[in-house]
Amino acid sequence: MAEESFTEDFEATGFANVDRSAVRSLHAASANIERSAVQRLQAESVNARNSAIGMVNASTAEMRESAAAVVAGDYVRVDESSVFLLMAPRVSGNVRAFITLPAAFAFGAGYFVMRSLVRAALNRRDR
């Protein structure tokens, strides 16, 4: 794929190299993404560096200094990257979670407290 380009869909039967580009959808056996933005990425093997990816579906995904909304795979390695939702049985590297387990419990508790306060206020107003 050419450098510094924008494409809607890109499909490669083998290796795809994306550098300084924006791609809406990329399907390849193996993908190397550098300094690019990809909305949807599906590949057996993904290597991303300094990139932003919306959704990754891969058997093996390696991310360095990148950001992704959703990453799903068998093995994911994350170094100095941010991932909103990570679904993988094996994960290695420095992972910064957007929502941690204590934060999830705090959000849940806050939701139920606010719900009960709103119900109490509405019931009091109806009387």
Does residue 125 fall inside a structural domain? no
Range with the largest mean pLDDT of 34-38, 93-97, 122-126: 34-38
Note whether residue 110 is domain-resident: no
Residue 106 has pLDDT above 60, yes or no: yes
Residue 107 domain flag: no
Structural domain of residue 75, as residue ranges?
6-98
In a domain, 112, yes or no: no
Q: Tens of pLDDT along 4-33?
A: 556 666 677 789 888 998 999 999 999 999
CB atoms within 10 A of CB 57: 16
State how many domains the chain has: 1
Give residues with Cβ within 8 angstroms of 125, minimum separation 6. none
Residues 6+ apart with CB under 8 A from 82: 66, 67, 68, 96, 98
Residue 40 domain-assigned (yes or no): yes
The three-state secondary structure class of 120 is helix
pLDDT digits (tens, 9 = 90+) for 42-90: 999 999 999 999 999 999 999 999 999 999 999 999 998 888 888 888 8
What pLDDT score was predicted for residue 76?
A: 93
HSE (side-chain half, CA atoms, 13 Å) at 22:
1
In a domain, 58, yes or no: yes
